[in-house]
Chains A and B, each alone.
Chain A
Amino acid sequence: MKPPEPRTRFTWETDVKRKTKDEVHSASRTPHSALFSKTWAVFRREARTELRSRYALNSIGMFALITLMVVGISSTGANVPHRTHAGLLWLILLFSAMTGLARVFVRETESRTQDALRLTADPTALFFGKALFNAALLLGLQAIVAPLYILMTSLPVRDFVLFLTIQIAGNLGLTVASTILAALVAKAGGRNALFPVLALPILLPLLMALVGGTYAALAPDGKIVAGVGLVPNPIESRQTAWEAGATYVRMAFAFIGMLGPASYLLFDFIWSED
């Protein structure tokens, strides 16, 4: 068969093929590095494709900024309880994510590249590469929304370490759930509207943990309430942030720990489905 013509534009398939040949002949490379390089190749391809059209970036960005504005406008001067602030922050992040995270797989269905992908790509590398891209997308979103939210509402964060931990846990949890569900939605006809319907029930326990943890990281506002969502223990003003928030951090990481392996294991079943 005639070898493919040399292309002037970078395509990840040729990049991966080149690397594979190297691995075969190079004794110093371990099998794991093959997975890393393939994953990285998938990630780079996603990044390039996204930067080309900027569809997901635009939709996520605009949604986030608009909701942020609405929240900012409606809460200036108002005595909004801190727990509500925590909920609003995660509302913005979650719904922004819902508009854009399914894109990694749904795009393959729309542009009909999924057959080529199924033929050439290692499913594991594909899964991790796309998950990595989703995580990066979310990270970008959080890096913009969270500081803006704090500035707009003058949120009194008393423990930034806890706040950041919760943001990281949120990033990982949302990524883990949304990547597998994006694949599911892409296979189920590629309708973007199905993605939030499927994702939100699964994300609910995570969300409660995130809101609770964020609330614990904020200065107490004198309103001692029963805990957040599924955890009823009240967050009291005399507790330190970590004392109050540890339960929620644990819950969030429990979610990641359970859904992460499950989604990795189930991906094959989706990907090999016609």
Chain B
Amino acid sequence: MATEIQTSDPAASAARTTRGTLPVPFQALLFAWISGVIYAAFFVAPPVKGLGPTTKVLYFHVPLFWVGAIALILTGIYSGIYLKTRRIEWDTKAAAAAELGLLFCVLGTMMGSMWARVQWGAWWNWDPKQTSILMLILLYGAYFVLRSSIESRPSRAALGAVYAILAVVAVPLLMRIIPYYLKGLHPNPVVEGTIDPEIRRMLMAAWAGFLGLYVWMFRQRVAVGRFEDQKEGVE
């Protein structure tokens, strides 16, 4: 029988409302951290040689993509767990991760495009990294098209999971194996070794901030998804 949302028990429904969101102190910390990152990116961080004042974009563009890529791999992992356990909450998590991953990648691409316009002269250059990110965005767009075309929730979950896993198999191909041959316009891995430790620290701080942002948004989204599942009587 479908579970009904109990509105009569205030304690339980209050618990349900806050379950899944970050505790308030963490949210405050996250807010402060990101504010600090933004401030530091604009006013404190030294410019990278050759990039000049556009260095600021580095602290947003790169972490957005790192977190976006992690989110997309998480989609694959959650999908795999769903196929193994057949518990619908994992499919909710997979969809949430894919949505956020897509959002972060699109934002990162927009920033990258702006940066490319300034640095390399054109909004889009078909540089290998740019191309591979575009493919990634298309993959996840297709994932959502597939999901929206299936009515039955369990089928949507299972078939979406299969597609997500196929896409994740393609992702390391795009992100790792192919750029291995890469000598494009993109600078060599900025973090591995050769750069100013202060910049690396800033980058790590920015990355931590965006990861926190992702975790917070993810938990919110999963909580909403869980409510929707309960309402539909699936859970």
Contacts and interface: CB of A to CB of B under 8 A. Distances in A.
Given A204-B135, A231-B178, A274-B155, A258 B141 contact: no
Contact of A205 (B149, B150, B161, B178): B178
Interface stretch (A68-76, A132-140, A189-197): A189-197
Given A180-B166, A230-B131, A198 B173 contact: no
Contact of B146 (A188, A251, A255): A188
B150 A232 contact: no
Contacts of A35: none
Contact of B158 (A231, A233, A269): A269
A274 B156 CA distance: 11
A197 B147 CA distance: 12
Contact of B170 (A189, A208, A259, A274): A259
A247 B173 CA distance: 14
Contact of B155 (A259, A262, A273): A273
B225 interface: no
A229 interface: yes
Contacts of B142: 197-198, 200-202
B195 to A, nearest CB: 22
A191 B138 contact: no
Given A184-B146, A269-B83, A231 B128 contact: yes
**Which of B127, B138, B178 is the most central at the interface, judged by chain A CB atoms within 10 Å of its CB?**
B178
B54 to A, nearest CB: 22
A202 B165 contact: no
B158 to A, nearest CB: 5
Contacts of B167: 201-202
Interface residues of A, number: 35
A232 B174 contact: no
A31 B118 CA distance: 64
A123 to B, nearest CB: 14
Interface string B46-84: 000000000000000000000000000000000000010
B132 interface: yes
A263 B184 contact: no
Nearest to A198: B142
B170 A197 contact: no
Contact of A230 (B150, B154, B161, B174): B174
B145 A232 contact: no
A254 B173 contact: yes
A127 to B, nearest CB: 13
Interface string A60-81: 0000000000000000000000
Interface string A257-269: 0110011001001
Contacts of B182: 230-232
Given A230-B132, A232-B128, A266 B162 contact: yes
Contacts of A205: 132, 135, 170, 173-174, 178
Given A187-B159, A202-B142, A230-B131, 6 more contacts: A194-B149, A198-B146, A202-B170, A258-B170, A258-B173, A263-B166
Interface of B: 83, 126-128, 131-132, 135, 138-139, 141-142, 145-146, 149-152, 154-155, 158-159, 161-163, 165-167, 169-170, 172-174, 177-179, 181-185
Interface of A: 180-181, 184, 187-189, 191, 194, 197-198, 200-202, 204-205, 208, 226, 229-233, 247, 251, 254-255, 258-259, 262-263, 266, 269-270, 273-274
24 contacts: A184-B163, A188-B149, A188-B159, A189-B149, A189-B151, A194-B146, A197-B142, A197-B145, A198-B145, A198-B146, A204-B138, A205-B174, A226-B184, A230-B132, A232-B128, A247-B181, A255-B173, A259-B166, A262-B165, A263-B166, A266-B162, A273-B158, A273-B159, A274-B152
